[in-house]
Amino acid sequence: MKKTGLVVVFLLLILGCQMAPNRPSIYDFIPENSNLVIEINNFERFKSALRNNLFLSKTSLNEAIEKHLGTVDSLNVSGPLLICTNLNPETPKFTFIAEQKDILQNSFSNIQSQILDSIWIGSEEVKTAISPSAEKHPFTAIQSLADTNSTLSLYHTSNKNSVWSNVFLNIHASPERLALNGILLDTNAPNSVAAWLEINSTKPQKISDVAPEDLVSMESYNITDFNALFEKVKTQDSTAVVSNLEQSLLGTFNEMGWIETSEGRGFIGHSFDMGATNEALIGFQKISENYRSVRVFEFNNPSFLSHLSDFTAEKFNPNLYTILDDFIIFSDNATFLKSLISSHQNKTTLAANANYKAILNQLSDDVSFQSTLDSESLSGILNAVLNTKFSAADLLAYKFSTLQLIKDDQVVHLNALLQKNKPKGTDKKIREEFSLVLDADILSEIQFVDNHLTNQKDIVVQDIENQLYLISNQGVVQWKKKLPGPILGQIQQVDLYKNGRLQLAFATPKRVHVLDRLGRDVGPFPLKFNDDISQPLAIFDYDANRNYRFLITQKNSLLMYDGRGQRVKGFNYSSESNIENTPKHIRHRGKDYIVFMTGENLAILNRRGQVRVPVREAVEFSNQDLYFYNNQFTTLNKTGELIQVDSRGRVSRQTLGFSAKTQMTASRKTLVAQWENYLQVKDQKIVLDFGQKTPPKLFYLNDTIYINVTDLDSNTIWFYDSQGRALAGFPVYGTSTIDLANADMDKALEFVSQSSSTSIVMYQLY
């Protein structure tokens, strides 16, 4: 009987699924005449990019949204949003489409909106009835290519003869860069880019090995079949005739391209058979001059390359050439050739440039075509794709931005990276990585957290609206979450499921939160409390086995919970006085100590909340934290004396010249104190400028001690070593305390600070 019932239920479920009508999606309502469709998956990420990315901030997106929907900051969109337009310069029409549940607005400034089958549609044109488009818009067929982690995805088509005229792109924006990747959509046209790339191979580009780093632009074509290339040329110019020289010489190249510098322009080929190349050039061996022991030859062949209009782009009559390694470079300008010889010998080529290498490391190794863009070309591309109005001068800092095309069967992949160049400097140069403006004034300390997906670091910070941000180490806002109150102290990380996936754990005044990688609450958290939590959350992992204990302080009482949100039985503690700091767990000589200050007493407990070590001597504690220094529990009293308590409860006092307002920090072997205009590191005393300072911070990374203080009067960040010596390159600008870590897995460290009331800055430390 039970089996029969299960079968009936199963059949009903199947029939129910078959009978249910297909509910329209947001893509079904894209207007047929839309030749630009933009999909935004994460509106907070997009909003941050509009504010902080140079390229997106200059588009008309912000203007279009504010004109029709209201200010970007006021919008609350929790799911994908489509922006569709016909790109008509005279009468542009915009349509906005989203799931009804994702639009959390009651009204919009200047748009008519309707709902159909739970789909919200906002349009400038008043419609009496809305229905899905009769034919699927082309965006629907390629929507699956949209990267939900991108800032936006873009479909663009037009009748213009340009590589950017018919394209689908995922666009990733951060404060210092714009990365584009996608596909070309006109691969079936006879003269499309895809058709031209049929004669290309896909392999690493080599021309940058001899291109000077001060170039204007460079193009590289991995063409391995010259005869096929010339047949393509003849389809456009039936009068074109291939010369014997072109056939014999170009047939020895497996890569060809162009280099342009301020001195001139040259055609370059990479030979896979230098013997055959020299044989093809046997009639052109007259030396024009020797420059730095490199011969420059005369080249008298006016018709050379005259029919390759798609590669020359302008009239080119070379009369000179030179040979560098396996490269042959032709030019009509001797100064141009000499500059290439010099840069090659001085190893100042493009391939050796750190900024160019940083870009290539993020792009594909094997390409069919690659172009390094000068600022003029870059501005032209951006103005065409993003409808911006950049001048070449606006983009000088983005030199070495690179475009790649990769032919893969019938698909042409497009990659491009527009990245701001980092200035050259010595090994002791501090470099700003990015600056990011948030939505409101910053409330909490900025700190790094581990990203278990990349093994790098992200950044967390909270603003005065109690919004918590997770920000990548590239400055991209990953998400923003509204909390019920300010975070107490620092955010910690746990691995509740013991699978390597980390969560964020912290307390607000009446709750204990655990959030996953996407900012979602992890059940059974948050834990809710009627009484206020009075100290930051303490998390203990006694045996390093991820059996976490969450210790909550409520004035004079401690409550302990496990990783399942259950109260830990057997742990009970309360005192007559309020607890003055976050309890700490210290393992020393095989024993566990839970220590904190309460009133004038130092409490030292065991795992069950019972007194492990009685401390009978009263201490008038200052407001400084408690540390385990030189195998003793250490802090300061109200007069600035160093107070230490050993594992037997014995109290010692030292007068070290500290004032009553001294701020301190310590590790197991290093003590740092700051008061008035002094900073003391171990026994070294340093004189500082007068002014308000942040509490000193101590970091131990790469077997090196780093000590930080920030001068809040002069807004300067200082770093010192373990001997109290200021590090080279400091001070730099900053308005708050910092956090220091290796954020991106390279050799250098990074640190983050505030740069204004609403903005953060990340620097790279050599």
**Model confidence over 494-503: pLDDT tens digits?**
999 999 999 9
What is the average pLDDT across 414-441?
85
pLDDT at 17: 44
Q: What is the pLDDT of residue 667?
A: 96
Placement of tokens 């349009």 in the chain: 123
pLDDT at 163: 65
User: Which has the higher per-residue pLDDT, 745 or 446?
Assistant: 446
Number of CB atoms found within 10 A of residue 12's CB: 10
Q: Do residues 491 and 446 touch, judged by C-beta distance below 8 A?
A: no
Sequence-distant (6+) residues with CB within 8 A of 149 are: 41, 172
Q: Which of 34-38, 240-244, 287-291 has the lowest mean pLDDT?
A: 240-244
Which band of pLDDT confidence, cut at 50, 70 and 90, is reported for residue 280? Answer: very high
Overall pTM surpassing 0.75 (yes/no): yes
What pLDDT was estimated at residue 133? 64
* Res. 549: pLDDT tops 50: yes
Q: Which residues are within 8 A (CB) of 456 and not within 5 positions of it... i.e. 6 or more apart? A: 473, 743, 744, 745
What is the C-alpha to C-alpha distance for residues 656 and 683, in angstroms, rounded to an integer? Answer: 10
User: What's the pLDDT score for residue 385?
Assistant: 73
Point out the least confidently predicted range of 253-267, 303-317, 425-439.
303-317
Q: How many residues make up the chain in this entry? A: 766
CA-to-CA distance for 179 and 192, rounded, in angstroms? 24
Q: In this predicted model, which residue has the larger pLDDT, 130 or 235?
A: 235
Average pLDDT (567-593) is 95
- pLDDT for 44 equals 92
- pLDDT for residue 745 is more than 90: no
Rounded to an integer, the average pLDDT of 676-699 is 96
Q: What is the pLDDT of residue 308?
A: 65
pLDDT digits (tens, 9 = 90+) for 101-118: 999 876 676 788 888 889
More confident position, 38 or 16: 38
Is the pLDDT at 80 greater than 60, yes or no?
yes
Average pLDDT over residues 7-27: 56
How far, in Å, CA of 598 to CA of 434, rounded?
43
145 pLDDT higher than 80: yes
Amino acid at 28: D
Q: What is the DSSP string of 162-175?
A: STTSEEEEEEEEET
| Cα–Cα distance, 289 to 320 (Å, whole number) | 10
| Mean pLDDT, rounded, for 220-227 | 80
Residue 313 has pLDDT above 70, yes or no: no
Checking if the pLDDT of 199 tops 70, the result is: no
* For the chain, domain boundaries: 26-157, 193-419, 425-482+656-766
**Are 517 and 499 in contact, with CB atoms under 8 Å apart?**
no
Closest C-alpha among 397, 405, 402 to residue 418: 402
Distance of alpha carbon 510 from alpha carbon 489, whole angstroms:
14
Q: 3-state DSSP call for residue 683?
A: coil
Q: Is the pLDDT of residue 191 over 80?
A: no
Q: Which residue has the higher pLDDT, 485 or 229?
A: 485
pLDDT of residue 519 exceeding 90: yes
Q: Quote the mean pLDDT of the chain.
A: 89
Contact by Cβ (8 Å): 644, 630: yes
